[in-house]
Amino acid sequence: MRRDGRVRGVVAFLEEREIMAKRILIVGGGGNQIGFVRKAKDLGLFTGVIDGSAEAPGLHMADMGATANIRDPEEVTAAAERFHADGVFPAAEAGVEAAAAAAERLGLPGPGVDAARCCRNKLAMRERLTAQGLPGPAYASAATVTEAEAAAARFGFPLIVKPADGNASRGVQAVNTAEDVSYAFTQAYQHARGGGVLLESFLEGEEYCVDGLVHEGRFHLGGVTGKERSAPPYRYDVGIFMPPPLAPDAAAAIETCVRDALDAIGFRCGTVHAEVIVTADGPRIVEIAGRPGGGRIPTDLIWLAHGHDFAADALGVALGRAPRGARLYERGAALYWTPGAAGQVTAVTGVDQARQVPGVKEVVIMVKPGDVLGDTVDCSGRDQVGYVLAAGDNTEAAVTAAKRARDLCAVLTRRAAS
């Protein structure tokens, strides 16, 4: 027994030394990605970062940073070659397909180009899930208002209209009447990058996030997150919490739903973030992303709620290593975004008091007097104001702390005279 323990200890030590000698290229270095840059540095990885903006903070935190079009497979591949990368990690949604292409060309771990395309294009995902016999909403693609109105007439209301290849809830709307289809189509089309517009019958039920890792085709659950959503017609999260109040059989059904969907699109290796709605007929996939979730789920919520260093495991998977972390406990974690009305910011109050609320880990306010806020209609607009991160002995305690701190923060604005 002791001898086996010593051998396992030596193996673990050698594995840690091996990963510390690796070189990871992180695709995306904006504010939502810097948690992974920090984690890579903490792990001792030689860290490269590419981003389309020279001002991206991750570029300046990395051992090597460079500007590049992260949507372009040629540029991402060239960057990985220059960097002598042992792994390519898609931290930003825009870089998922190009990162997968670079990994495939260089013989590095990755999901596969076809699976990455299904993650980026919701129509391609729907078609693949349907072909594999997995249940989902009625859906149709549309390139014109006329096509959208015809599709809406076929499967009725309510329905969801969204860009087929969008993200961050941009251009996503719930539609209840035929008169609103044209406007919703136009808004979605403005955010489509070439994949057209997707219409889906409305799925009634609670929505959850599922974050996990795939290594050698096997899915490893990181965590399930509950959420509070904005009022219709827009569909974005105003708060998230972990773990949600789910019976064991319901949690298992959600995990199975995601695993089956990943198998259906052939996702081989990488980090995944899925959205699932639990309907009266069971869980249904809303979408699958081939990158880490937002809202600090992978870097903070999973750690606070379960003691699992999911971010370290995600980087390890990109380098070809199986996940090694495990859930150590079940506590509570929550993140709630701070609202701000459209207009010029005149004052920000209550931040110091919010930071004193028991359980609050961070209060982040992104705006200052003089800044101008637009209407909040998606995650991008929501993110420009700020948020509160909290933890507790259970989910209820974490949510209570986060909401109390959020309500103490006030971002006061004044609309310009018309």
pLDDT given for residue 142 in this prediction: 86
**How many other CB atoms are found less than 10 A from the CB of residue 347?**
11
The CATH superfamily holding the domain 117-124+204-329 is: ATP-grasp fold, B domain (3.30.470.20)
Output the pLDDT for position 263. Answer: 98
Q: Enumerate residue ranges in the chain where pLDDT < 50.
A: 1-3, 5-14
pLDDT of res. 198: 87
Tens-digit pLDDT profile for residues 17-38: 556 679 999 999 998 899 999 9
For CA atoms 9, 11, 17, 19, the dihedral sign is: negative
Return the pLDDT at 86. 98
CATH topology agreement for domains 2-108 and 117-124+204-329: no
Mean pLDDT of the chain: 91
Q: Which of 3.30.429.10, 3.30.450.70, 3.40.50.2300, 3.30.1490.20 is the CATH number of 137-201? A: 3.30.1490.20
Residue type, 311: A
pLDDT of the residue at 8? 44
φ/ψ (deg, to 5) at 92: -115, 145
Side by side, the strands of the sheet bearing 372-373 are: 372-373, 343-349, 410-414
Fold of 333-414: Glycinamide Ribonucleotide Synthetase; Chain A, domain 4 (3.90.600)
The pLDDT of residue 168 is: 61
Share of the chain above pLDDT 70, in %: 93
Domain positions in the chain = 2-108, 117-124+204-329, 137-201, 333-414
pTM of the model: 0.89
CATH of 2-108, one of 3.40.50.20, 3.40.50.300, 3.50.50.60, 3.40.50.720: 3.40.50.20
